Structure 1
Amino acid sequence: MGSFKQDIQETFLGLSESISQQWDDFTQFLRETWPILILLLCILIGIWWYADPPPPRHVLLATGSPGGSYEALGKKYAEFFKEKGITLELVQTKGAQENIDRLADRNDPLQAAFVQAGVDYAKESKGIQSLGAVDYDPIWFFYRGSEIKDANLEAVDGGLKYFLGRKISIGVEGSGTHTQAIKILQAAGYEKGARFIGLPGHDAVKALQSGEIDGAFIVDAYEAPNVQALLNDPAMHLVTFKRSAAFAKLIPYLHILEVPQGSFNLARNTPPKDMKLLATTTNLLIDDRMHPAIQFLFLEAARNINGKESFFSKRGEFPSFKDSALIESPVAVHYEKNNYPLLAAYFPFWMAELISRLVFILLPFCVLGYPILQALPSFRAKRMQNKINRLYGALKSLEQELLNGFDDEQRDEYLRRLDLLEYQALKITISMRLSSDYYGLRTSIDYVRKCLNRGVHPYKVGDDLDPNLSTHSPSPDLLGNLKDA
C-alpha cells in the first residue's frame, strides 16, 4: 500500500487526466458539430427575438394639460424609469379624449396615458387596456362671493338661483374635468340656467381669483398646484357634497372622500366643518401591444409612488382595479395576484428581463434542442466509424487488386498507396470508445505491407504458385483480417 501522499498524488493525477480527456473530447465535439450547433443557436435566437422581443428603451406617457397633478406624477414615474435604464418621455395633451384617441391610433407611438375613470369614450376605443387605478382624483367645486348654504344646493330651486346667470368653468371639452362636471350637473339637475365656459385648470384658477368667473370645477389631486392655490385663498369657498352617497349610487365609479374639520389648514380651520368630497380615480391606460416587461415596470412604479399613504389614500391601496370599465391587462391581473417577478428584487431591471427571456427560451430548447444535442454523441461516433470504414474499404479494394492482378513491377506503387492509407488513418481524430477499431485498421494496413515486403507474391495459390516456393504455405486470406465496411 502506498503512502497517503502517493495516494493523493495518484488521485489528482487521475482527475487531471480525466479532465484533460473530457476537454479534448469536448473540443473535438465542437470542431465536428459546429455547423449543427450554429444552426440550432440561430433557431433559438429567432424564437427568442420574435416570440419574446426585448422591451423598448424609450416609452411615451401622456400626462394631459400642463400644471396639473398628472404632470407632477409623470415626472416621478420618469425618475423611476430612469433608475431602471428606460427613458420615459412625458407628452402634454389637451386631456382625456386626446389621450384615448392617441392610444387607440395604431400608428401613434404613444403607449401609456393617465385618464380619469368614467370617461365614456374610453369604452368604445379598441386596442386599449387598463393597468388599474393609481390614485384618487377629487372633484372640487370652488366659488367666490358669499358662502352658499347647503340647503340651497340640496334643493333644485335654490341651486338654480345660485347658478342662474353665473359663469362657471367646467373644464375644456374632451378633458376629464369636463366629463365629471357634466355628469354631476346632469345628475343634480343643474345643467341648465348657468353660463358654462371651458377653461383649462390653470386658466380657471386665474380667472376665478381675478373675478372673471364665479365658480370652477377642478378634478385634480389634493397636492396639485391648482388645488392648493385655491385652498389657500381666503376668498375661495369649497362646496361639500352632502348627498355624496346619492351621487355615488347614481354614478358607480365615484368614491366618497371624508375630509375632517381643519384638515386642509388647521390654523385657519379649513374646512370649518367635516365635509365630503366626490372623487374619481386616475387610471393608467396602455396600448395593448405594450411589452409585458414595461407593463410590470409601470405597475412597480405605481406601487412605489402611488402605493404610499397620502392625504386621501391608505398605504398599499394603489394600484388596484377599483372602477375600470376597460379591459384589464392580463399582466396587471397577474401582478395583482403575484406581485412583481422575484428576479427584479435581486437584479437590475435589464438583467432580470434578460434572465426572464432566457428562461422563456428553455421550453423550446428542451423540446427542440435537447433531443438534437442528445443525438450528437452518436452522430459523432457514426462519423468516426464511417471514416474508419471508408479506409477499410480502400484497403480491401487494394487487396482485391493485388489478388486479381498483382504486378511485381508496381510493388513500390502498392506500398505508396498503403502509406497514404496509413497517413489518412493517422489524421482521424477519434474518441476513446473507437480506439480498438482505429488500431485494428492500422494493424491491418501494416499486415498488408508486411505481405508485400516478403519479396514474393503472397496472393497466388495452387498451380500459380512458384515451385521454388512450394515449402511455403499459401498466404491466409487477408480479407478475413479486415473489418467489413
Structure 2
Amino acid sequence: MGSFKQNTRETFLGLAETIREKWSDFIQFLEEAWPLLILLLAILMGIWWYADPPPPRHVQMATGSAGGSYELLGKKYAEYFATKGVTLELVPTLGAQENLIRLSDRNDPVQAAFVQAGVEQPKNISGIQSLGSIAYDPIWFFYRGPEVKSNEFQVIAGHSKYFSTRKISVGVEGSGTHSQTSRIIKASGIDRSGLQFVYYPGEKAVKALKNGEIDGAFIVDAVDAPNVLALLNDPELHLATFKRAEAFTKLLPYMHILNVPEGSFSLERNFPDQDLKLIATTTNLLIDDRMHPAIQFLFLEAAREINGKESFFANRGEFPSFKDSLWPESPVAVHYEKNSYPLIAAYFPFWMAEFISRLLFIFLPFCVIAYPVLRALPSYRTKLMYNKINRLYGELKTFEQGLLATFDAAQRDEYLKKLDLLEYQALNIKVSKRLAGDYYTLRTSIDYVRNCLNRGVHPYQFAEGVGSDL
C-alpha cells in the first residue's frame, strides 16, 4: 500500500487527467456540433424575442380633468414608476368615457386609465381588462344656503322638494361624476322635466358653488382631492347625507356605504355636526389587454404601495382588490392577488428581476426542445466519426480494387504516396475513446496494404496461369 502522500498525488493526477480529457472532448464536440448549436441558439432567440419581448420603458396613462384626485394619484404613480426606471406619461382627459374610448382604440398609445366603477360604457368597447379597484370615490353633494333636512332631498313619487327649485351641477357629460349622478337620479325615480341641471367640470362647479352661481353640486372624487377639500373647508357650504344609502347599494351593487362620524372633517367646526352616510363607487385601474405582464405587475405594486395604506375611508391592505370590477379581470392581477409579486423582485431591481424572470420563462420550453436534441448528440457525434472512418475505408477499398485491376510495378512509389496520404487523413480524425479500436483498425488496414506493396511478391499481380486454375 502506498503512502498517503503518494495516494493523494495519484488521485490529483487522475483528476487532472480526467479534466483534460473532458475538456478535449468538449472542444471536439464544439468543433463537430457547431451547426446544431447555432440552430438551438436561433430557437432560443426566437422564443426570447417573440414569446416574451422585453417590457417597454415608456407607458402612457389617462387620468382625468384638472384638479381631480386622478391627476394627483397619477403623479404618485409616475414617481413610483420613475424609481423603477420606467417613464409613466400622464394624459389629461375629459373623464371616464374618453378614458375608455382611448383604451379600447388599438391605435391610441394610452395603455392604462383610472375609471370609476359603474360608469356608462360607450358602445363597441372591447380589449380592456381590470387590475382591480384601488380606492373609494365618495359621491358628494355640497349645497349652500340654510341647512336642509335630509328628508327634503328624498324623491317621493318622482318629485323632490329640494331639487325641483335649485340649480344643480351634475358634472360634465362623459365624466365619472355625470355618469354616477345620472344613475343615482334614475334609481331615485325623479322626474327630470323642469329640473335646473348644469353640466360643469369639477373646477368650474367648485367656483360656481362658492360664488353663489349655483345652489349645489355633485362631485365624485376622493376625500383628499383639491376640489373636495376646497368645498369641505368652506364653512358656508353644507354636505348632504344619503339617508337611504342601503337602498342605493341594493339597486346599484357596485356602490359602497361610507360612514362619516360627527366632527371627523373638522373638530373645530364640528363638521359635520352629525353622523353622515355617503355612498361611494371605487376607482378601477383599467388597462389595454395587450399590456406587457411586467408593466401590469409594476402597476399592481404601485397600487399596493400607494393605495394599500390606511386612509380616511380605507383600511390598510384593503386595496388593490376586485371589489366590484365590472370589467374582465386581468390574469396577471388574479395571479398577483393569489401570489403577490414574484419573490425575486424583493432582492433585485425591477429590470434585473424582469430579466431573470424572462430567463426562467424561456428556460422550461427551451429545455423541452433542447433535451431530446442534446440526448441525441452522442449518437450524432459517434455517427459523424464513423462516417469519417468509413469514408477512408471506402477510399482504401477502391484503391486496392484498382491495384488488382491495373497494378504496375513501376508505379509502386506513387501507390505508396497514395497510402501515405490516406494515413495522414486518418491521423487527423479526432475520435473518442469508444471509437479508438475502429480508428486503429483503419490505420492497421492501411499499413497492411503498404506491407503488401513493399514485399517481394505482390498479391496484386500473379504469374501467368496461376490465377486461371482458381
Deviation at 1:343, TM superposition (A): 2.5
State whether residues 151 and 158 of structure 1, in contact with CA within 8 Å, keep that contact through their aligned partners in structure 2.
no
Alignment partners' CA distance in 1, 2:175 and 2:223: 18
- 1:83 maps onto 2:101 in alignment: no
Describe the SS at the equivalent of 1:111: strand
1:127-154 deviation digits (Å, cap 9, x = unpaired): 1111111100011111112111223223
SS at match of 1:154: coil
User: Quick one: structure 1 residues 155 and 381, their matched pair in 2 at CA, closer, same or farther if it must change by over 3 Å?
Assistant: closer
Q: Which residue of 2 aligns with 1:457?
A: 458
Q: Which residue in 1 is equivalent to 2:17?
A: 17
Whole-Å separation in 1 of the counterparts to 2:282 and 2:117: 5
Separation in 2, partners of 1:123, 1:304: 34
| Structure 1: gaps (5+ residues) | 466-485
Which residue identity lines up with residue 92 of structure 2 in the other structure? Q
Quote the residue 2:258 is aligned against. Answer: 257
Whole-Å Cα distance in 1 between the matches of residues 159 and 211 of structure 2?
24
CA deviations on 1:250-300 (whole Å, 9 max, x unpaired) are 222111100111111122222111111111000111112222222222122
> Are 1:374 and 2:375 counterparts?
yes
What is the rounded CA distance, in whole Å, between the counterparts of 1:104 and 1:155 in structure 2?
37
Structure 1 distance, partners of 2:391, 2:74, is 73
Following the alignment from structure 2 to structure 1, what is the Cα–Cα distance between the partners of residues 334 and 192?
A: 39
Provide runs of 4+ in structure 1 moved above 6 Å.
Answer: none
Give the secondary structure class of the aligned counterpart of 2:348: coil
Distance 2:90 2:168 in 1: 30
Task: Say which is worse superposed, 238-247 or 438-447, in terms of deviation.
Answer: 438-447
Q: How does 1:464-483 map to 2 (within 5 A)?
A: none
Aligned counterparts of 1:347 and 1:190: Cα–Cα separation in 2:
60
For the residue of structure 1 that corresponds to 2:67, the secondary structure is coil
Counting matched residue pairs gives: 465
The alpha-carbon distance between structure 1 residues 235 and 67, as it changes in their structure 2 partners (threshold 3 A), is same
Query: CA separation in 2, counterparts of 1:193 and 1:295?
Result: 47
Q: Determine whether 1:56 maps to 2:59.
A: no
Deviation at 1:221, TM superposition (A): 0.5
Compared CA separation, residues 367 and 111, structure 1 to 2 (3 A)? same
1:58-457 correspondence to structure 2 within 5 Å: 58-121=58-121, 125-154=125-154, 156=156, 160-188=160-188, 189=190, 191-457=192-458
Contact 1:133/1:323, CA 8 A, preserved across alignment:
yes
Deviations 1:382-440 (A, max 9, x none): 11111111112212222222233321110110111011111111211111211122122
Partners in 2 of 1:192 and 1:334 — Cα distance? 49
Amino acid at match of 1:321: F
How far apart, CA to CA, are the structure 1 residues paired with 2:398 and 2:110?
A: 75
> Is the contact between residue 61 and residue 112 of structure 2 (CA under 8 Å) also seen in structure 1?
yes
Q: Is the Cα contact below 8 Å between 2:81 and 2:87 reproduced in 1?
A: yes
Range moving further from structure 2, 452-461 or 43-52:
452-461
* AA partner of residue 297 (structure 2): F
Q: CA deviation at 1:42?
A: 1.1
* Separation (CA, whole Å) in 1 of partners of 2:250 and 2:300: 29
Counterpart-to-counterpart distance in 2, 1:180 and 1:242: 17
- TM-score using structure 2 length: 0.93
Tell me, in whole angstroms, the C-alpha distance in 2 between the residues paired with 1:342 and 1:138.
35
Work out the CA distance in 2 between the residues paired with 1:246 and 1:63: 31
Greater Cα offset, 131-140 or 153-162? 153-162
Give the letter aligned to residue 362 of structure 2.
I
- CA–CA distance in structure 2, aligned partners of residues 433 and 412 of structure 1: 35
Deviations 1:231-265 (A, max 9, x none): 11111111111111122222221111001111111
Q: Is the 8 A contact 1:182 1:191 kept in 2?
A: no
- After superposition, what is the alpha-carbon deviation per residue over 1:319-375, rounded to whole angstroms, capped at 9, x for unaligned? 111112222222222222222223222332223333333333234323322111111
Return the alpha-carbon distance in structure 2 between the equivalents of residues 359 and 229 of structure 1: 51
Q: Distance in 1 between matches of 2:462 and 2:192?
A: 124
Bigger shift: 49-58 or 83-92? 49-58
Cα distance, 1:67 vs structure 2: 1.5
Q: In the alignment, residue 317 of structure 2 is paired with which amino acid?
A: G
Shift of 1:90: 0.9
Cα distance, 1:216 vs structure 2? 1.1
Residues 1:192 and 1:279: Cα distance change in structure 2 (over 3 Å): farther
Take 1:222 and 1:38, find their aligned partners in 2: how far apart are those partners?
60
SS of residue matched to 2:47: helix
RMSD: 2.1
- How much does 1:458 deviate? 4.1
Partners of 1:366 and 1:28 in 2: how far apart? 23
Q: Provide the rounded CA distance (Å) in 1 between the counterparts of 2:29 and 2:462.
A: 47
SS of equivalent to 2:280: strand
Amino acid corresponding to residue 314 of structure 2 in structure 1: S
Letter of the structure 2 residue corresponding to residue 269 of structure 1: N
Q: CA deviation at 1:192?
A: 4.2
When the two structures are superposed, what TM-score results if normalisation uses the length of structure 1? 0.91
Superposed displacement of residue 158, structure 1: 12
Provide structure 2 residue ranges, at least 5 long, that are not aligned to the other structure.
none
**What is the identity, as a one-letter code, of the residue corresponding to 1:343?**
I
- Native 8 Å contact 1:142 1:238 kept in 2: yes
CA–CA distance in 1 between the matches of 2:285 and 2:273? 35
How far apart in 1 are the matches of 2:61 and 2:283? 14
Residues 1:334 and 1:280: Cα distance change in structure 2 (over 3 Å): same
Q: Is the 8 A contact 2:153 2:161 kept in 1?
A: no
- Identity fraction in percent: 71
Preserved contact between residue 55 and residue 293 of structure 1 (Cα < 8 Å): yes
Q: CA distance change for structure 1 residues 270 and 157 in 2, over 3 Å: closer, same or farther?
A: farther
Q: Structure 1's 39 and 53: CA in aligned 2 closer, same or farther, altered over 3 A?
A: same
CA distance in 1, matches of 2:406, 2:180: 107
Q: Distance in 2 between matches of 1:31 and 1:373?
A: 15
CA distance in 1, matches of 2:152, 2:384: 97
Aligned partners of 2:158 and 2:191 also within 8 Å: no
